[in-house]
Structure 1
Amino acid sequence: MYKLLMENQDSWDIFTRKEEYYPEKLDEHQRFLFSEKDLLNASEPEVSRYLMENGMQVEFPENKSFAVCLTHDVDDIYPPLSHSLLSSAYSLKRLNFKDSAAQLLWKLRGIDYSPYLNFSKIMDIEASFEAESSFYFITAEADPIRFRYDIEDIEHHLGEVLDRGWEVGLHGGYYSYDSPDKIKKEKERLEAVLGKKVIGFRNHYLRFKTPDSWEILASAGFSYDSTFGHRYSVGFRNGMCHPFSPYNLNTGKKIAILEIPLVVMDTALFATSKSFEEAWERTKSLIDTTASLNGVITLLWHNFAFSCNFRQGWVKLYEKVLQYCSEKGAWMTSGEEIYRWWADRS
C-alpha cells in the first residue's frame, strides 16, 4: 500500500497528514486546527478511493460489503449536575413529575442507580440489530473539568460487557496523550480490573499528535487506536475509510499499530447540523460513500446520550443508522473485531 501511495504525492501527503507534523496553529486543547478547506474535503475518502481504483481488495465476514465500527466513550458514569438539571427540567416541562424527580434523586438509592450506568441498555439496542460495539473507559485520576469515576467501582458492569461479547477499551486521560508512562499506568489499571489484556484505545477530547501518539500507543502495547478523526466536524481525516497502519515520516518506517479512523462523533455531528434531518443526511452520505468503497465507518456515540432525555434525537439517529446499515448488509461490530479481522489479512 505504501509503495502505491508514494507514487502519488498528493495522496501520500494526505495519507500521512504531513501538514500535522509541524502545525502552525493548535486549538485550546493542543489539537491540530483544521482549515476550512480540510473540513470541506473531509467528506471524500480520496486516498481510499485511489487505492481501490488501483487494485486494493477488501473482504468482510459472510461476504458483507462494508463494516460499521460502533464505539462509545464513557466520559461519565454519574450525571454531572448540569445534565441532571436539564433532564429534570425536560421531564417537568412535559408534566412527567416522576421522571423529573428521579433525575435529581437517584443518588438516594445508591450509585448503582445512576442513569449513566446504561451499558446494558445500549447493548440491548445494538443486539436487536445483531450488532456489537466497543466501550472505552477512563482510568486517569486527573481531568480538567471534574472527577470522572473510579474504574474499580464498576467492575461488575465491566464484567457484564465482556460476558456479552462486547469490547472494553481504554479512554486515555486528558493529560496522558503525550505521556508513555501515564498511558501505560492507565492501561495496567484497567487490565487489573478486567483480568485481561486491553488492545483498543481512544483518547479523551480526541487529543492526538501525529505521528507521536501512534508511536506512544504502539510502545504501550495497544493493537489499535480510534482517536484519529475530527472534533469539530465529521468525515475522513486523512482520506481513508479503511483501517490502516500509519507511516512515520520522521523515521521512514511503518508504526506497529492499526488505526481505525473515527468518522462520525455525535457531539460534533449535532453541533454542526441545523436539524435532525441534516444530521441524518450527512451521516447517510458518509455511510453510502464508505459502503461504495467496501470500507469501515467508525461511529462514536457517548453513553450519556442514551440516558439524557434532552438528547432523545441523538438516540433516535443512532437507531436509524443501525437500521439503515442493517438493511444495507453491513457488518456492525466492535473495534476489537475489526482489528482481528484486519490483522489476519494484512
Structure 2
Amino acid sequence: MATGPSPHYFYVMTLPPAFPLPQPAPAPLPAATRLAYVLRHFHLAYDSVPEVSIGYEETAVVRLEDASGGFFSGQAPYPPAPQWRDWCGTRLPFFFSPPVEAPLLHLPAGRAFIGPDLISAAFYLLSGWQEYFSAERDQHGRFPYAASVQKQYGFVTLPLVNYYFDVLRAAVEHVTGQPLRPRRWGPAQAAFAGFITHDIDTIHGGWGTRIRSQLHQGHLPRVVQTLLYKAAGRPSPWNNLEEVQEATTKQGAPSTFFMLGSQQPASNGTLNADYDLTAASMAARLRKLAARGAEIASHASYGTATTPGRLQAERQRYGLPAPTGNRFHYLCWEPRITPQLVAGAGFRYDSTLGFAEHFGFRNSYCHPFFPFDFEQGQALAFLELPLNVMDATLHHPNYLQLSAPQIMPALQPLFAEIEKFGGLTTLLWHNDHFDPANDVTGPRQFAEIMTHLQQRGAAFLTGSQIVAEVWTC
C-alpha cells in the first residue's frame, strides 16, 4: 500500500526520426467537459446510479470546489503535489486539493460537500493528460513509467480513480438514501471480471530455449530427441496455439488471441510476425480456435500506432468478420496520434494501455474506459480494456526481474484492488511463455494466477463480450 511520495526521476529520450511528436491540441478544457467525462465513467462503474446533481455550482446537491487553479488552461504535464489523506483505511494522494485543507467529505442533511477536487483529479488520470502533454518517450516512442505520477508518488498498483469514485459513491448514497453496488459481470453477475489474452509474436521458435533447459537439467537423451524433432521438421515448441487455448480453457476461461497482421519488419529493424496471417493453414487454425470459443483480435504491427492508414489496411488482412479488438505490438501508443487511428479503423476496443515496466494501472483505473480526444474535447467511440499484468514485465531483465516465488505475492494485492471495485483484470501471457522450459513466467505461473482468479469468482470474458456488457449500460 502506498504511504507517501517516493523518489522520482525522469529520463528523456530523443524520439527516433520515424516517430515525430506532433504538437498537442491547444487548451483549455473547461470544467463542464471534465465533469461530463468523469461522471460518464462513474455511472458505468456502478449499477443504476440515481440522478443527482453533482458539480461545482452552489446549487449542486453533491458539491465540489474547482481547485484546478487554471491548470487545464495550460499544457503542463504534471500538477502540483497532492495532499495525502486516509480513506477507509488506505492512504491516498488527492490531486487538486484546496490549499487550506477542507474535510474530505462533509455530509449535512440532504447535501454532500467534497473537499478535494475529485473531478479534476479523476479527469487528469483517466484522460492520460500527463502522457499527452509530456514530451518524454522511450526507445519505442512510449510514455515511460519512470516519467509518470504513478512512479513519482508510488501508486501504480492502486486504482486511484476508483477510490475517488468511492468517495463520490458515499456522497451520492448519503443524499439519495440508495446504496450503490459496483457493476457485475457475466451471466452469473460475478463481482469482477478476467480478460485472458495472448499476444502471438512468434510461432517458429523455441528450439534453443528447450535445448538449453534440457542441458541445464542434465537430460541428454531429451536433447538428442529434440534435435531429431527439429531436423525432422516437427512444429517448433512455440507453434502451440491449440495448447495455449487448452491450458486457458482448463481454467474455465476463453482466450483472446492478438495475432500480428504483418511479417514486414519495421523501418528501424524491429521484427513483426514470423508467420503469415493470411496463409490458408493459419486461417484454418484460427477458425478452429474461434469455433472453440476463442476470440481472434488484431495485434497491430510495430509502426502502425503512428502511421495513418496502416492500421486500417492491416485490419482488412484478417478477413471477415474483421476483428473488433486491437493491441499494439510492443504496447506502442502515441497519445497525440494513436487514439484517433484506433477510432478511425473501426475497432470497438483496444487493450494496449499498461506500463511495460510495472504491473498495475496506467490510467489509475480498473474498469474499461473511453479514451479522451483532446482535439475534440470529448470521449472517443471505443473502449480501452486496460492491461494490468504482462508476463514479460514480471521477469524481463529490463523490468521487474521477479523470481517465480515472488510473482503471486506481488500480484495478489493488485487482484484484491480490482475485486474490491468490481473491475477488470487483464492478463497478457504470450504463447512462448507456455513453453514448459520456462520455469519463471511459464505455464505453472500462469496456472497459479488463473487458479487464484477462478477461486475468487472472476467471470472470464473475451474482449467482445466485455464490450457488449459495458456498451449496453
- The answer (yes or no) to whether the contact 2:196–2:256 under 8 Å persists in 1 is yes
How far did 1:259 drift? 0.3
Q: TM-score, length-normalised on structure 2? A: 0.67
Instruction: Tell me the CA shift for residue 328 of structure 1.
Output: 0.8
1:275 to 392, 403, 407: 403
Higher Cα radius of gyration: 2
1, 16, 19: which one aligns with 2:130: 19
Query: Aligned pair in 2 of structure 1 residues 11, 196: CA closer, same or farther (>3 Å)?
Result: same
The residue type paired with residue 45 of structure 1 is P
* Compared CA separation, residues 102 and 17, structure 1 to 2 (3 A): farther
Higher helix share: 1
8 Å CA contact retained: 1:45, 1:241: yes
CA RMSD of aligned residues (A): 2.1
Equivalent residue runs for 1:81-230 within 5 Å:
83-110=206-233, 113-143=235-265, 144-146=269-271, 148-153=274-279, 154-190=282-318, 192=319, 195-230=320-355
Q: Which moved more, 1:303-312 or 1:222-231?
A: 303-312
Among the aligned pairs, what percent are the same residue?
Answer: 26
Q: Does 1:248 align with 2:373?
A: yes
Shift in Å at residue 102 of structure 1?
A: 5.0
Structure-1 separation of matches of 2:344 and 2:221: 51
8 A Cα contact 1:170 1:202, kept in partner: yes
Cα-to-partner distance string for 1:293-338 (whole Å, 9 max, x where unaligned): 1000101000111125134643211101111111111112222221
Report the Cα offset of residue 175 of structure 1.
1.4
Per the normalisation by structure 1, the TM-score is 0.91
| Distance in structure 2 (CA, Å) of the matches to 1:230 and 1:76 | 22
Q: 1:101 to 1:222 in 2, by over 3 A?
A: farther
Q: Following the alignment from structure 1 to structure 2, what is the Cα–Cα distance between the partners of residues 288 and 92? A: 40
Structure 2 residue runs without a partner (length 5+): 1-35, 43-116, 170-179
The count of aligned residue pairs is: 338
Native 8 Å contact 2:38 2:119 kept in 1: no
Bigger RCO of structures 1 and 2 (CA < 8 A, at least 6 apart) = 1
Give deviations 1:152-191, integer Å, cap 9, x for gaps: 231222112111011000111101111231111111001x
* Alpha carbons of structure 1 residues 208 and 308: separation in structure 2 relative to 1, 3 Å: farther
C-alpha distance in 1 between matches for 2:202 and 2:38 = 43
Unaligned runs of 5+ in 1: none
SS of equivalent to 2:144: coil
Query: Alpha-carbon deviations, 1:219-245, whole Å to 9, x = none?
Result: 101000000111111110011100011
Q: Which residue of 1 aligns with 2:168?
A: 54
Cα distance in structure 2, aligned partners of 1:23 and 1:50:
24
Quickly say closer, same or farther: Cα 1:336–1:109, change in 2 above 3 A: farther
**Is the 1:135–1:168 contact (alpha carbons within 8 Å) kept by the matching residues of 2?**
yes
Does 2:438 align with 1:310?
A: yes
Is residue 305–residue 311 contact of structure 1 (8 Å, CA) maintained in 2? no
Q: Which residue of 2 aligns with 1:38?
A: 150
Q: How far is 1:7 from its partner?
A: 5.5
Deviation (angstroms), 1:292: 0.7
2:421 aligns with: 293
Following TM superposition, by how much is the alpha carbon of 1:125 offset from its aligned partner in structure 2, in angstroms?
A: 1.6
Contact 1:273 1:279 (C-alpha < 8 Å) held by counterparts: no
Using a 3 Å threshold, how does the CA distance of structure 1 residues 312 and 214 change in structure 2: closer, same or farther?
same
1: CA distance, partners of 2:161 / 2:145 = 18
User: Is the 8 Å Cα contact of residues 180 and 220 (structure 1) preserved in structure 2?
Assistant: no
Report the Cα distance in structure 1 between the residues aligned to 2:276 and 2:131, rounded to whole angstroms. 34
- How far, CA to CA, are the matches of 1:10 and 1:35 in structure 2? 20
